[in-house]
Amino acid sequence: MRKNIVAGNWKMNMNQEQTVQLIEDLKKALPSNDASIMIAPTFVNLAKAVELTKGTSIEVVAQNMHFEASGAFTGEISADMLKNIGIKTVILGHSERRAYFGETDDLLAKKVTAAIENQMQVVFCFGEELEDRKSDQHFDVVGAQLKNALFELPASAWSQLILAYEPVWAIGTGETASAEQAQEMHAFIRKTIADQYDSTIADHVSVLYGGSVKPTNASEIFSKPDVDGGLIGGASLKAEDFSGIAVAFS
């Protein structure tokens, strides 16, 4: 069901001590409003984070996952391992995974399927590069990313999906898509899903925006009708900034 979500992607930041501190700070600073809060610490700190957030409204989620159930896949983590420590949601398809670790649409389709079959929720990330936007290909690129990774899924899988549109040119660059650019793309995303499945599925999926969201621009972006919140990188590493973003839903 569509809901307002503010998700913090901590990436490869925060050792265990820092993780503990940031969670304690967040517990004090986060507003209580209708936004669902997610944080994604690194794998080694997930169990600790789950323990520290028990009984709070903060959900701890993973940044990645392998599609196989178990076996000789050195360095990888399975859905079962995540679920076993209380993780119910995984981020897949982040542009850094695509760019630096060679994750393709085909691989992501396998990962998404594995997560869905394991009854996990997926925050699926996608978005165009700067050249795509400059050459006016951004809608085609985003449409293809959705189709290649998600459109083989049965309609029933969509209740486990959250989408995160993250234009690569806006990630960690300080350059944000304008609220109008975000709304335009989010409306296109819903239309593409409605054409492939139906309008109920398109209306019910939460679509987050990601890319240099800050306390100063969050309310404007989140106020757009097809934007249901944000996936936050840099600004999720400071309790004050992350809370300042979550306040946008108050």
A 10 A CB-CB count for 174 gives 9
Region binding ligand PGA by CB under 6 A among candidate stretches 26-34, 68-76, 81-89, 206-214: 206-214
Q: How far does CA 147 lie from the centroid of its chain?
A: 18
87 contacts ligand PGA (rule: CB under 6 A): no
Q: Which of 229, 233, 242, 248 binds ligand PGA (CB under 6 A)?
A: 233
Judged by beta carbon, residue 100 or residue 156, the one nearer ligand PGA is 100
CA distance 101 to 237: 23
Quick one: tokens of 31?
A: 């507003």
Residue of 59, 66, 94, 96 marked catalytic: 94
171 contacts ligand PGA (rule: CB under 6 A): yes
Those residues with Cβ within 8 angstroms of residue 179's Cβ, 6 or more apart along the chain or in another chain: 217, 220, 221, 223, 224, 227
Residue keyed to tokens 């998600």: 150
Question: Across the strands, what pairs with 126?
Answer: 165
> Binders of ligand PGA among 108-167, rule CB under 6 A?
166
Q: Is residue 87 a contact partner of residue 80, using CB atoms and an 8 Å limit?
A: no
Region binding ligand PGA by CB under 6 A among candidate stretches 69-77, 104-112, 155-163, 204-212: 204-212
Output the smallest distance, CB 111 to ligand PGA, in A. Answer: 17
Q: Count residues contacting ligand PGA (CB under 6 A)?
A: 13
Region binding ligand PGA by CB under 6 A among candidate stretches 66-74, 103-111, 182-190, 233-241: 233-241
CA distance 147 to 62: 24
Task: Report the amino acid identity of residue 27.
Answer: K
Output the smallest distance, CB 54 to ligand PGA, in A. Answer: 25
User: What is the 8-class DSSP label of residue 62?
Assistant: B
Q: Binding residues for ligand PGA, per CB under 6 A?
A: 9, 166, 171-172, 210-213, 231-235
